[in-house]
Amino acid sequence: MTKVKSSEITPESLYLNRRKFMVGVGGIILSTAGFPGCDNYKTTYEPSKGGVLPDDKLTSYKDITTYNNFYEFSLDKEDVIFAAKDFKTSPWKLEIGGLTEKSLSIDVDDLTKIYDQEERIYRFRCVEGWSMVIPWLGLPLARLLKEVEPLPEAKYVQFMTLHSPSRMPNQKSRSFPWPYIEGLRIDEAMHDLTFLSTGLYGKKLMPQNGAPIRLVVPWKYGFKSIKSIVRILLVEHMPSSLWMKVNPREYGFYSNVNPTVDHPRWSQASERRIGEFGRRETLPFNGYEEDVADLYKGMDLKKYF
C-alpha cells in the first residue's frame, strides 16, 4: 500500500470546498477522485437514507482537535489539547485475544501499513447534547476480529484504554475506576459501521482525539468510542464499562442515541452541532436507524438504554 506523504495532505479549506456529495437512491457516495492525498483512501461505505445527509457539513479540523472529551487528560474539553500535547503514541502495541482461535499483537504503525485504510464520514454525538461530523480514517473493526477467529461462546467485545498515570495525568484522580473499559455486543462490533480510527481529515489522530487508535460507533453516544486502545478481548459475559460503574442510573451498556429517552439531567431530543448556531432535532440511532435498528428488534430500548 502506498502511503500518503505529509506534503500531499489536502489542506482543510480545499478538503471542504472541493469534496462533492453525490446523492442517490441508496444514500450518499463520498467521492475522493482527483483530490491530492486522497487517492489512497477508499470510501467504500454507502450510507442509507438515514446516514450522512446533504446538510451535514463537515466540522472544521480546528473544532475537532480543540474541543475534546478525554477524561484521562482533563475534565475540561478545551484543556485536553494542552494536557495531551506531549503524549507519545508511537510505538504502540495493540493486543487482541480472549475467546478466540488466535491472538494478535501488533504495533499500530504496522497495522496501518498492512491494512488498507478507508475514509468514512460519520456523525459523532456526545451525551451532553453536542455533535460533530467527522471524516475518519481507519478500518472496520470486523476486519481485525475476523483475523483472530472468535469462538462460539464469545458474545461480547471488551476494550481497554492505556492505563499510565505518568503519561495520562488525570488518571491520578480517584474519581474514576481506571483504566477506561468499554464494551459492545459482538454483533454490534462486527457491524460494518463500527470502525477503528487511526486518523481524521487524512491526517494521523492527534493525542486529544484518541491517538493512535480509537473506536467509532456512530449510532451510539461518544463515550462508547473508547480512545487510545491497548487491548481488545472477546468475552462471554457483558463487560461493565467505566461509566456503568460510575453512574449506572445514567449510563447503560447500550448507549444508543435515542431522543425519546432523556438523560436524568437533560433532554436528548435536540443537539447543538459544533460550529453552528441554534439546535437541531436529534435523530434516532444518530441517523443510522435504517442500518442498525434490526440489531435491537424486540428489545425495550427504554429499559436497555
Q: Does residue 102 contact residue 149 with C-beta atoms inside 8 Å?
A: yes
231: β partners? 95, 160
**What integer pLDDT is reported at residue 1 of this predicted model?**
39
**What integer pLDDT is reported at residue 36 of this predicted model?**
29
Q: Domain for residue 285, yes or no?
A: yes
**What integer pLDDT is reported at residue 54 of this predicted model?**
62
**What integer pLDDT is reported at residue 12 of this predicted model?**
52
**What integer pLDDT is reported at residue 273 of this predicted model?**
95
**What integer pLDDT is reported at residue 262 of this predicted model?**
86
Q: Domain for residue 99, yes or no?
A: yes
Domain count, the chain: 1
Supply the range of the domain harboring residue 79: 6-296
Distance separating alpha carbons of residues 162 and 227, to the nearest angstrom: 9
Give per-10-residue mean pLDDT for the chain (305 aa): 36 44 29 33 43 76 97 97 98 98 97 93 91 96 97 98 98 96 98 97 97 98 97 98 95 95 88 93 94 97 93
Q: Domain for residue 304, yes or no?
A: no
Report the CATH number that the domain containing residue 52 is assigned in CATH.
3.90.420.10
pTM, rounded to two decimals: 0.86
**What integer pLDDT is reported at residue 127 of this predicted model?**
86
Distance separating alpha carbons of residues 213 and 283, to the nearest angstrom: 27
Q: Domain for residue 36, yes or no?
A: yes
**What integer pLDDT is reported at residue 51 of this predicted model?**
57
Helices (H), ranges, the chain = 12-18, 61-66, 80-83, 108-114, 141-148, 186-189, 242-246, 289-292
Q: What count of Cα atoms within 13 Å lies in the side-chain half-sphere of residue 59?
A: 25
Q: Domain for residue 88, yes or no?
A: yes
Q: Domain for residue 302, yes or no?
A: no
